[in-house]
Structure 1
Amino acid sequence: MSDTNKPTDRLARVRHTNDAEGKQDGKPDDGTKPARKKTARWRIVIRWMIPLFLLLALVGGLIVGYVVIGKQSLSDVFKWETWQHVIDLVFAP
């Protein structure tokens, strides 16, 4: 087979290779299982890990900024009144 007649995409090359070797089902002859794709599982994990890490970074930043730098109590970080006061200060006319 010349270079000009070779299939360009991977799926066509795999089909061509399997046809050339006489394997129509794509399974190996040595009795081992074919390799599993792990990408779907990792995509799900990453899609949950990124927002989780962002949320943890936000809470950690609030705690460090308010407790460590601001020298206030930890319980005040999670009170709505605290953040309402900050919003009023920032957006005051």
Structure 2
Amino acid sequence: MISNSFKYAFEGRDGGTIIVHLNGNESDGLRMTIGDDGVGLKSREGFHRPNSLGMDLIHTLAGQLDADIHLLDGPGTRYELVSQKLSKRRVA
């Protein structure tokens, strides 16, 4: 999602903003918002029926996190992933 923002969001502009927001706890789960203030998606249609590698990867990530994914209203493109499960994992 972040690499797509760098690649597509700011065409014809000198810059822009990319956001990554992550919060969560064991009782409420995990909420992650990733987005930009760029040109936005050409169509919301492709979000619900992925027909590109990028959208396939976004939906695969949601599946791996056992999360619901939402396309939020602009400006730009913003995705929100919400998972009710926040498991403790041991990091080596």
Q: TM-score, normalised by structure 2?
A: 0.23
Select the structure of larger CA radius of gyration: 1
Structure number with higher helix proportion: 1
Structure number with higher strand proportion: 2
Q: TM-score, normalised by structure 1?
A: 0.23
